[in-house]
Amino acid sequence: MLGRAANMGDGWETKPRRGPGYVWAIVRLGRAGRIQKVEVDTSHFQGNYPDRCSIDALYAPDAIVDALTWQEFQWTEILPQTKLQADKQQYFEKELKPLPVCTHVRLNIYPDGGVSRLRRYETFLR
Protein backbone atom coordinates (compact mmCIF):
# COMPACT_ATOMS: atom_id res chain seq x y z
CA MET A 1 0.00 0.00 0.00
CA LEU A 2 1.07 3.55 -0.57
CA GLY A 3 1.90 5.84 2.33
CA ARG A 4 2.14 5.05 6.01
CA ALA A 5 -0.38 2.80 7.71
CA ALA A 6 -3.23 4.69 9.37
CA ASN A 7 -3.68 2.01 12.06
CA MET A 8 -3.12 -1.71 12.72
CA GLY A 9 -6.00 -2.63 10.43
CA ASP A 10 -4.10 -1.03 7.55
CA GLY A 11 -1.31 -3.63 7.85
CA TRP A 12 -0.91 -7.41 7.85
CA GLU A 13 -1.21 -9.46 11.04
CA THR A 14 -0.94 -13.21 11.41
CA LYS A 15 -2.68 -15.32 13.99
CA PRO A 16 -0.44 -16.47 16.85
CA ARG A 17 1.62 -19.64 16.29
CA ARG A 18 1.37 -22.29 18.94
CA GLY A 19 4.21 -24.45 17.63
CA PRO A 20 7.61 -24.04 16.03
CA GLY A 21 8.11 -22.36 12.69
CA TYR A 22 7.31 -19.05 11.12
CA VAL A 23 4.91 -17.28 8.77
CA TRP A 24 5.70 -15.89 5.32
CA ALA A 25 4.20 -13.81 2.54
CA ILE A 26 5.27 -13.73 -1.11
CA VAL A 27 5.12 -10.54 -3.19
CA ARG A 28 5.51 -10.43 -6.96
CA LEU A 29 7.41 -7.32 -8.03
CA GLY A 30 5.95 -5.08 -10.73
CA ARG A 31 8.99 -5.83 -12.87
CA ALA A 32 12.36 -7.52 -12.54
CA GLY A 33 15.07 -5.60 -10.72
CA ARG A 34 17.93 -5.62 -8.23
CA ILE A 35 16.92 -4.76 -4.68
CA GLN A 36 19.06 -2.02 -3.14
CA LYS A 37 17.21 -1.37 0.13
CA VAL A 38 14.29 -2.83 2.10
CA GLU A 39 11.88 -1.26 4.59
CA VAL A 40 9.98 -3.35 7.14
CA ASP A 41 7.54 -1.09 8.97
CA THR A 42 5.94 -2.30 12.21
CA SER A 43 4.07 0.97 12.88
CA HIS A 44 1.07 0.53 15.20
CA PHE A 45 2.18 -2.99 16.15
CA GLN A 46 3.51 -2.66 19.69
CA GLY A 47 2.75 -5.87 21.57
CA ASN A 48 2.24 -8.03 18.51
CA TYR A 49 5.08 -7.21 16.15
CA PRO A 50 7.34 -10.01 14.84
CA ASP A 51 10.46 -10.63 16.91
CA ARG A 52 12.58 -11.17 13.77
CA CYS A 53 12.32 -11.26 10.01
CA SER A 54 14.29 -12.49 7.03
CA ILE A 55 13.80 -11.86 3.32
CA ASP A 56 14.34 -14.16 0.35
CA ALA A 57 14.28 -13.35 -3.34
CA LEU A 58 13.59 -15.33 -6.50
CA TYR A 59 13.82 -14.84 -10.24
CA ALA A 60 10.84 -16.64 -11.78
CA PRO A 61 9.18 -14.29 -14.29
CA ASP A 62 6.60 -16.82 -15.48
CA ALA A 63 5.72 -18.30 -12.09
CA ILE A 64 2.30 -17.96 -10.52
CA VAL A 65 2.61 -16.74 -6.92
CA ASP A 66 0.39 -19.55 -5.59
CA ALA A 67 2.73 -22.15 -7.15
CA LEU A 68 5.92 -20.88 -5.47
CA THR A 69 7.06 -23.42 -2.88
CA TRP A 70 10.31 -24.34 -1.17
CA GLN A 71 10.69 -27.53 -3.18
CA GLU A 72 10.08 -26.20 -6.67
CA PHE A 73 12.09 -22.99 -6.67
CA GLN A 74 15.51 -21.92 -5.41
CA TRP A 75 14.99 -18.90 -3.15
CA THR A 76 18.04 -16.79 -2.27
CA GLU A 77 18.29 -15.26 1.20
CA ILE A 78 19.01 -11.55 0.89
CA LEU A 79 18.39 -10.53 4.52
CA PRO A 80 19.29 -13.04 7.23
CA GLN A 81 17.14 -13.28 10.36
CA THR A 82 17.21 -9.81 11.84
CA LYS A 83 15.76 -8.46 15.08
CA LEU A 84 12.81 -6.08 14.66
CA GLN A 85 11.48 -3.34 16.92
CA ALA A 86 7.93 -2.39 17.79
CA ASP A 87 6.10 0.48 16.10
CA LYS A 88 9.02 1.54 13.90
CA GLN A 89 10.08 1.96 10.26
CA GLN A 90 13.20 -0.18 9.87
CA TYR A 91 15.49 0.09 6.85
CA PHE A 92 18.00 -2.50 5.70
CA GLU A 93 20.60 -1.68 3.10
CA LYS A 94 24.07 -2.64 4.31
CA GLU A 95 22.65 -5.87 5.73
CA LEU A 96 21.41 -7.05 2.32
CA LYS A 97 23.43 -9.73 0.58
CA PRO A 98 24.38 -9.09 -3.06
CA LEU A 99 21.51 -10.19 -5.22
CA PRO A 100 20.99 -10.97 -8.84
CA VAL A 101 17.84 -9.82 -10.60
CA CYS A 102 14.60 -10.93 -8.93
CA THR A 103 10.88 -10.96 -9.67
CA HIS A 104 9.55 -12.05 -6.25
CA VAL A 105 10.39 -11.49 -2.59
CA ARG A 106 9.32 -13.51 0.43
CA LEU A 107 9.05 -11.88 3.85
CA ASN A 108 9.49 -14.42 6.65
CA ILE A 109 8.44 -13.36 10.16
CA TYR A 110 9.45 -15.24 13.31
CA PRO A 111 7.35 -16.53 14.93
CA ASP A 112 4.31 -14.37 14.00
CA GLY A 113 2.99 -10.82 14.37
CA GLY A 114 2.04 -7.72 12.44
CA VAL A 115 3.74 -5.66 9.74
CA SER A 116 2.37 -2.36 8.45
CA ARG A 117 4.43 -2.14 5.25
CA LEU A 118 7.08 -4.01 3.30
CA ARG A 119 8.84 -1.88 0.74
CA ARG A 120 11.77 -2.61 -1.50
CA TYR A 121 13.81 -0.01 -3.27
CA GLU A 122 15.39 -1.34 -6.43
CA THR A 123 17.12 -0.74 -9.68
CA PHE A 124 14.77 -1.82 -12.47
CA LEU A 125 15.88 -3.46 -15.65
CA ARG A 126 14.44 -2.38 -18.95
109 domain-assigned: yes
35 domain-assigned: yes
* CB-CB contact of 34 with 76 (8 Å): no
The closest of 117, 115, 82 to 13, measured between CA atoms, is 115
6 domain-assigned: no
- For 73-116, what is each residue's pLDDT tens digit? 889 999 999 999 999 999 999 999 988 899 999 999 999 999 99
The CATH number of whichever domain residue 41 belongs to comes to: 2.60.120.260
CA distance 18 to 40: 24
pLDDT for the residue 99:
80
Radius of gyration of the chain (CA): 14
pLDDT for the residue 125:
58
3 domain-assigned: no
Supply the range of the domain harboring residue 66.
20-124
* CB-CB contact of 33 with 122 (8 Å): yes
* pLDDT level of residue 72 (50, 70, 90 thresholds): confident
* pLDDT level of residue 67 (50, 70, 90 thresholds): confident
Flag whether pLDDT at 56 surpasses 60: yes
The closest of 95, 19, 27 to 57, measured between CA atoms, is 27
31 domain-assigned: yes
4 domain-assigned: no
98 domain-assigned: yes
CA distance 22 to 53: 9
- For 16-28, what is each residue's pLDDT tens digit? 888 888 999 999 9
pLDDT for the residue 42:
97
Q: Total structural domains in the chain?
A: 1
CA distance 53 to 126: 30
Beta bridge partners of 119: 39
